[in-house]
Structure 1
Amino acid sequence: MAVTALDRVVLVTPSLDAAVAFYRDALGFHPEAPPGPAPAELLLGLEGTRARSCCLRIGAQAVELVQYEPAGARYPGAVGGNDGRFQHFAMAVRDMEAAMARLRRVAGWEAITRGDPQQLPPENGGVVAFKFRDPDGHPLEFLQFPRGSTGWDDVGGDGSVPGPVLGIDHTAISVSDVARSTRFLVDGLGLHLGSRSLNQGAAQERLDGLPSPRLDVLGLNPAEQDTPHLELLGYHSPAPRAASAPGLADVVATRTVLRSSNPGALSGELRGRDDRIEIVATDAAGNVALIRDPDGHLLLLLQPAFPSS
């Protein structure tokens, strides 16, 4: 029943057509098909709501954009990395300068990082990174890894990914208790620990746009893949900020879609582990389950054979 793969991230948008255009033009994602009715799993827990969605790919990874009607709340301002609602996804780029040039040609986004892309120290991977918000407010990140440090060196060399953005490396969520969230994700969902670092210093401060950040960063991998994976952000400073869980149609209500052999049984097992885990909805056949983790982040569990968008 353990999670075998991180399938995609689902972002809620108040304007599907505008969001599709931004991800296509600014980042190089390609719609698999024109926007259309959302799949049933994106309406779990939302009776009486209609939805349109579009799945976009870049390389081997995907993001899905969904617009609900009636619409939920807009993104709640500049949610920082230490806020319990924070979730971003990070894109590997082959050339940071080229990725930034393409992004700057498109209007509507907002920088999180202060100044230019930042190079983190070797103990934090030595990556060059830049954080920003899409026009709806969702935080995103560019990462340029040192040559020879990851499998991204081999991506796109055959011309399959022509732009500077190669694909989605991970999605990261801010958590209030790293040990509790690790137990939930490792013991409960079957992810395994891939990396751990303590990030701090002047470059991290400029990257996050937060004063004197000091945070644990844990990489957690599904059983059958390393990319994309899930990261936990556990801030020591600034102190974690608790926030109420968003409504399912709110723009901040990002879903992380995970594959599991038996979502119904797994969600029932999770309920018995921790009363802070909420089972939002399941389908009658147990093929799909929508849950909230102890910090309110939404996880959508799907069977491997269950069709995605």
Structure 2
Amino acid sequence: MAIQRVLGLLQNAAQPNELANWYVDNLGFEVTGRDSLEGEWTLQLFGDIAKAGIERVVLEIGDEQLQIWGWPGVKDPTPYPECWGGNDHWFQHICLVSDDLQGIYSRLLDQGINPISTQPQCLPEWNSAAAGIWAAKFKDPAGHPLELLQFPADKGDSRWREKSRNNGLPKGIDHSAISIASTETSLRFYRNMLGLEIKGESLNHGSEQDAMDGLQGTRVAITGIGSGPHCMGVEFLHYIAPSGGRDRQHPNWSDACDRKLLMQAEAITALHELVINSELGSDCSPLVSLPAEAFAAQLGFTVRDPDGHSLVIVG
């Protein structure tokens, strides 16, 4: 009774096809499907906002999937706030691995992307867990945060050393990082309930972290969790400083910031029973039967974690 794999993410956009084309043209994603999700099961998972269906473009990169969703029945989806940072608890980024971070990032800047980092950063030698990793953060045209990583030879999953792509294009999704209020609280959900394991921990700070996050005086406790080797993971970002990270208020499935982790579970009926009878039960949907074309799974449910980040769990 545990999560077997993080399959990818689902994210919202006013123009799904347009945003999908940007990911294809600039980051090397591949479109593998375009369709609409409709039926009573969508209402059971997402409520009345799904009455008009969900427009979907399915993208793949490496072993991972990114689905871009549009909500035709929602007239004015809630956008990202005008001013926000990585310490706000709705923050969630997708981390892509490249062998040519500088080249890709330069091309993106030339095309007018909105940077979060002041410039790509090489994490310092004193930080043994991350020393030598290059990183840069930016936003896609819809405002969704992204991160590029380039690992040195002694860091990262072995799959990143085994794969290569022309022009340094990203090879896959290493993890999705979520900003949280409490590591202990998040571990009670993701580890104790969902069965994910701690893969690594570090405390990042200093000028490099400030420049990477676009913040000042940064001290962030990072906890990586996952289901096994060679799989996409989840990363907790607990910002000790700067303080004042805001909680998400009244989350909605169609909000611009509502990225959804797509997870595959074994013994999904028992897992759903555990979650719906927990303190998060009020944010857990019924367990519903899924059409095969939806997620290549028979059953699924949705739930929000303690900070309001959303998950779609199938099995």
TM-score, L = length of structure 2: 0.87
The CA deviation at 1:61 is 1.6
Instruction: Specify whether residues 111 and 281 from structure 1 end up closer, same or farther in structure 2 by C-alpha distance, changes over 3 A only.
Output: farther
Aligned to 1:74: 79
CA distance in structure 1 between the partners assigned to 2:144 and 2:6 by the alignment: 19
Which amino acid counterpart does residue 12 of structure 1 have in structure 2? N
Aligned to 1:153: 161
Which amino acid counterpart does residue 302 of structure 1 have in structure 2? V
Aligned to 1:292: 304
Deviations 1:184-228 (A, max 9, x none): 111100000000000110000010011111011000011x44431
Instruction: Specify whether residues 237 and 39 from structure 1 end up closer, same or farther in structure 2 by C-alpha distance, changes over 3 A only.
Output: farther
User: Residue 10 of structure 1: SS of its match in structure 2?
Assistant: strand
Aligned to 2:12: 12
CA distance in structure 2 between the partners assigned to 1:30 and 1:143 by the alignment: 20
Gaps of 5+ in 2: 291-297
1:204 and 2:212 correspond: no
1:120 and 2:123 correspond: yes
The CA deviation at 1:281 is 4.3
1:135 and 2:136 correspond: no
Which amino acid counterpart does residue 22 of structure 2 have in structure 1? F
1:46 and 2:47 correspond: yes
CA distance in structure 2 between the partners assigned to 1:203 and 1:39 by the alignment: 46
Contact 2:99 2:170 in 1 (8 A): yes
CA distance in structure 1 between the partners assigned to 2:88 and 2:301 by the alignment: 25
Contact 1:168 1:228 in 2 (8 A): yes
- Percent identity, aligned pairs only? 28
Which aligned segments of 4 or more residues in structure 1 are displaced greater than 6 angstroms? 39-42
Instruction: Specify whether residues 277 and 46 from structure 1 end up closer, same or farther in structure 2 by C-alpha distance, changes over 3 A only.
Output: closer
Instruction: Specify whether residues 175 and 51 from structure 1 end up closer, same or farther in structure 2 by C-alpha distance, changes over 3 A only.
Output: same
1:168-247 maps to which residues of 2 (within 5 A)? Answer: 168-222=173-227, 224-239=228-243, 240-247=245-252
CA distance in structure 1 between the partners assigned to 2:207 and 2:88 by the alignment: 20
Which amino acid counterpart does residue 236 of structure 2 have in structure 1? L
Contact 1:14 1:74 in 2 (8 A): no
Contact 2:101 2:168 in 1 (8 A): no
Aligned to 1:2: 2
Aligned to 2:294: none
Gaps of 5+ in 1: 304-309
RMSD, matched Cα: 2.1
User: Residue 236 of structure 1: SS of its match in structure 2?
Assistant: strand
Aligned to 1:306: none
The CA deviation at 1:264 is 3.8
The CA deviation at 1:93 is 0.6
- More deviation, 161-170/78-87: 161-170
CA distance in structure 1 between the partners assigned to 2:171 and 2:274 by the alignment: 37
Which amino acid counterpart does residue 165 of structure 1 have in structure 2? P
CA distance in structure 2 between the partners assigned to 1:74 and 1:28 by the alignment: 26
Instruction: Specify whether residues 78 and 94 from structure 1 end up closer, same or farther in structure 2 by C-alpha distance, changes over 3 A only.
Output: farther
Deviations 1:11-31 (A, max 9, x none): 111111210111011111110
Aligned match for 1:267, one of 264, 267, 272: 272
The CA deviation at 1:282 is 3.1
The CA deviation at 1:37 is 1.2
CA distance in structure 2 between the partners assigned to 1:14 and 1:261 by the alignment: 33
CA distance in structure 1 between the partners assigned to 2:104 and 2:42 by the alignment: 31
The CA deviation at 1:253 is 0.9
Which amino acid counterpart does residue 19 of structure 1 have in structure 2? L
The CA deviation at 1:179 is 0.6
User: Residue 32 of structure 1: SS of its match in structure 2?
Assistant: strand
- More deviation, 168-177/121-130: 121-130
Aligned to 1:144: 150
Contact 2:100 2:168 in 1 (8 A): no
Aligned to 1:95: 100
How many matched pairs?
296
The CA deviation at 1:38 is 3.2
Contact 2:201 2:223 in 1 (8 A): yes
Deviations 1:86-131 (A, max 9, x none): 1111001111122113323534x310011x2011123141211100
CA distance in structure 2 between the partners assigned to 1:186 and 1:80 by the alignment: 26
